[in-house]
Chain A
Amino acid sequence: GQQLNQSPQSMFIQEGEDVSMNCTSSSIFNTWLWYKQDPGEGPVLLIALYKAGELTSNGRLTAQFGITRKDSFLNISASIPSDVGIYFCAGLSGTYKYIFGTGTRLKVLA
């Protein structure tokens, strides 16, 4: 099945650092969602974006809906150990099928 490209695939960062990741597609989407998945758990919704150019925050997390509608970005400020996990983007076009990204695995060094 189709998957969105996420970058980076994985990253190690120091506690307190800011983190940036992105998600790109060859197709246009009208909704972008960002999820975090902890080991052994289901994906948990972090942020939903509905308009091109939209910038939305949830605590230390900020996500943006790309102007081209083919990409989205997630930033985490002042990372903490509990930010460890896999971050997934998901795009939605005219159908009800959410297309998920390949995931960015984040590891935080205390």
Chain B
Amino acid sequence: DAGVIQSPRHEVTEMGQEVTLRCKPISGHDYLFWYRQTMMRGLELLIYFNNNVPIDDSGMPEDRFSAKMPNASFSTLKIQPSEPRDSAVYFCASSPWTGGAREAFFGQGTRLTVV
């Protein structure tokens, strides 16, 4: 299994531009999570999906952030317009949540720098 795949690995953009981060979860995993990691706040849950449906987006910082999961093998996190304070590492994780297994598996992350 290839694991959770995120793209791009690094993104540098100018303030005000739209940024789209992509994630392919592990096949068969019903839950997908988007996290943001910063030195100050650690790992923060932004949103999670179950069977492609957004369940809890209370961690999304503001309306500039949106996430979609059009099918079981693809999700996007979009920031529009981007701001310097959005600079962070964004992780996608997936979990099977079956048979009592509740482990979450992370991708390698996208390091976003907004200048």
Contacts and interface: CB of A to CB of B under 8 A. Distances in A.
B104 A45 contact: yes
A48 B43 contact: no
Nearest to A103: B42
A92 B103 CA distance: 10
Given A97-B56, A98-B33, A45 B43 contact: no
B34 interface: no
Given A96-B31, A102-B42, A33 B48 contact: no
Interface string A52-85: 0000000000000000000000000000000000
Contact of B102 (A3, A48, A100): A48
A71 B44 CA distance: 20
A96 B97 contact: yes
Given A97-B45, A97-B56, A103-B42, A45 B105 contact: yes
A1 B103 contact: no
A1 B59 CA distance: 8
A31 B43 CA distance: 18
Contacts of B76: none
A35 B106 CA distance: 10
A78 B103 CA distance: 26
A88 B43 contact: yes
25 contacts: A1-B44, A1-B59, A31-B102, A35-B106, A42-B4, A42-B106, A42-B107, A42-B108, A42-B109, A43-B91, A45-B103, A45-B105, A48-B101, A48-B102, A88-B43, A95-B56, A96-B31, A96-B50, A96-B97, A97-B45, A97-B48, A97-B56, A98-B45, A102-B42, A103-B42
Interface of A: 1, 3, 31, 33, 35, 40-45, 48, 50, 88, 90, 92, 95-98, 100-103
